[in-house]
Amino acid sequence: MSALPGTTGRRRIYLMRHGHVDYFGKEIREAGGDFSVVPLTPLGQEQAKAAGIALSHVSFDRAVCSGYPRTKQTAEYVLAAQPSGTAPALEIDSGLVEVHGGDYGHVKSRAEMAAKMAFHFDIAGEPGASMLPGGEAFADAMARSVASIERLLGEPGWHTMLIAAHEGINRLILGWASGGGLSAVRAFEQDTACINVLDFDMVPNENGGTKIERVMIKAVNLTPYNYVKHGMNMNSLEAIFARDPA
């Protein structure tokens, strides 16, 4: 099994959130409110490029995204900053798509949408909680996203992976990795184009494969375009729904 240099069975995942998007943009309106089609804004592109520069010295041997345009673009900007000819091909794992939302109701403004979503992840630990009425249960989204991480970790031939995913999915993965489960989801803020660093110690299992022996969260919510968060006084959802996210 490939392992990080200096270790016997350790693998690292750089888990990113996609860059800034506009959920009130023309692409969303033309798609009838389908959030899966939203691309990065110019600001989101600059954020992803900053992440690419920060990660340009990291040698990735796998790269995965959820397949939504915003995660695909984010990963592509990061991989474009790798030394020429060294970036791995970008793969898609649909188990990492964002938590499927339910009924938003009739929303008239950005401020109203921000108010609806402001504390939504705070309820993830409640029994049966879902992403808005009729949406995907947080427990189900955690199960599918963690299953993807475990499957990727069980595959041979890599030690350093880039994953570009989403706020909700990242929160769920971090909740699982921390041992706090769904109750911990509320604590893991994920700013746009942020980077999380997770290490996994892998050991042989009885079936001839490997299993996770230990998870270590090395870093959370790093934003290379503003490492110390100066002036970033809104949370990520407030910033996305603001007219002037800068």
Residue 33 has what pLDDT? 57
Residue 125 has what pLDDT? 94
Residue 37 has what pLDDT? 83
- Residues 26-36 as b/e (b if ≥16 CB within 10 A, e otherwise) read eebeeeeeebe
Write down how long the chain is. 246
Q: What pTM was computed for the model?
A: 0.94
DSSP string, the chain: ----TT-SSEEEEEEEE---B-TTSHHHHHTTS-GGG--B-HHHHHHHHHHHHHTTTS--SEEEE-SSHHHHHHHHHHHHTSPTT-PPPEEE-GGGSPPPP-------SHHHHHHHHTTGGGGTTSTT-BSSTTS-BHHHHHHHHHHHHHHHHHSSS-SEEEEEE-HHHHHHHHHHHHT-GGGGGGG----TT-EEEEEEEEEE-TTSSEEEEEEEEEEEEE-TTSTT-TT--S-HHHHHHSS---
Residue 131 has what pLDDT? 87
At 162, the amino acid letter reads L
Q: Say if CB 65 and CB 92 are below 8 A apart.
A: yes
At 128, the amino acid letter reads G
Residues 6+ apart with CB under 8 A from 23: 35, 38, 113, 240, 241
Best CA proximity match to 36, nearest among 90, 97, 77: 97
pLDDT tens, the chain, 246 aa long: 699 999 999 999 999 999 999 877 676 666 455 667 899 999 999 999 999 999 999 999 999 999 999 999 999 999 999 999 999 999 999 999 999 987 766 666 777 776 666 678 999 999 999 988 889 999 999 999 999 999 999 999 999 999 999 999 999 999 999 999 999 999 999 999 999 999 999 999 988 889 999 999 999 999 999 999 999 998 888 888 776 665
What is the rounded CA–CA span in Å between residue 246 and residue 237? 13
